[in-house]
């Protein structure tokens, strides 16, 4: 059964006015680790997740390849991480949360009907959220000053796919990319503690080891 995968990051004695720099560093690490270099959207949540956002800005997904209009220019959608963070954190409050979506590509098994099954690099939107210290009754203590929501952990296990040598290689590449991104965001943002965890509380490492047949 698939689970939702998160990465929580904590920083010692983090001041609210330092949050922008940390968020920019985390978002900026995606481009070198299988992700995009521009932010798709930004949302600012007041007080708790049950409230209506005070800001919702959709910049659009970055366009790659193909040709554009006059002169062959290709439109570049999305916002640079620094600019997206600056815009959202103009509404800086200690009981707000700042959520950004950014593209990240992983190998996925594509088996459409009547077509040959194949492995493809498929983009997904990852959520990066920075917490004010009073948002949702101090949710940062459990979730981290910054939390990365990777979505379903299916690409790191592919439990519905027969695990031959090709499938195992693609799963291992996805896991390696996850590990490299996790290390990159920790280093770039200066986090002193990090935790990769799942919504159901299951260990990805143990499930992966069992999936690859490491344990008898």
pLDDT, tens digit, 9 for 90 and up, residues 119-151: 999 999 999 999 999 999 999 999 999 999 999
pLDDT band (50, 70, 90) for residue 62: very low
Q: What is the pTM for the complete model shown?
A: 0.88
pLDDT band (50, 70, 90) for residue 28: very high
Average pLDDT over residues 57-74: 59
How far lies 184's CA from each of 37, 151, 177, 200, 214, in Å? 14, 19, 10, 25, 27
Average pLDDT value for the chain: 89
How far lies 51's CA from each of 16, 159, 189, 215, in Å? 21, 36, 29, 45
pLDDT at 1: 64
Weakest-pLDDT range from 1-10, 75-84, 178-187, 199-208: 199-208
């Amino acid at each position: 059964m698939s689970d939702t995968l998160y990465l929580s990051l904590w920083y010692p004695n983090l001041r609210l006015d330092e949050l922008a720099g940390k968020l920019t560093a985390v978002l900026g690490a995606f481009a070198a680790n299988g992700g995009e270099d521009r932010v798709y959207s930004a949302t600012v949540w007041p007080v708790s997740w049950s409230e209506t956002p005070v800001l919702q800005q959709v910049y659009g997904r970055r366009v790659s390849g193909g040709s554009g209009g006059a002169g062959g220019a290709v439109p570049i959608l999305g916002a640079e991480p620094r600019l997206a963070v600056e815009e959202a954190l103009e509404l800086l409050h200690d009981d707000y949360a700042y959520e950004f979506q950014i593209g990240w590509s992983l190998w996925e098994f594509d088996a459409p009907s009547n077509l040959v099954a194949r492995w493809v690099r498929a983009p997904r939107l990852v959520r990066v959220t920075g917490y004010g210290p009073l948002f949702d009754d101090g949710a940062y203590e459990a979730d981290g000053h910054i939390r990365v929501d990777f979505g379903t952990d299916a690409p790191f296990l592919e439990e519905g796919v027969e695990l031959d040598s090709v499938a195992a290689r693609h799963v291992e590449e996805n896991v390696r990319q996850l590990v490299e991104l996790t290390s990159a965001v920790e280093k770039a943002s200066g986090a002193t503690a990090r935790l990769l965890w799942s919504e159901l509380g299951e260990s990805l490492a143990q499930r992966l080891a069992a999936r690859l047949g490491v344990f008898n």
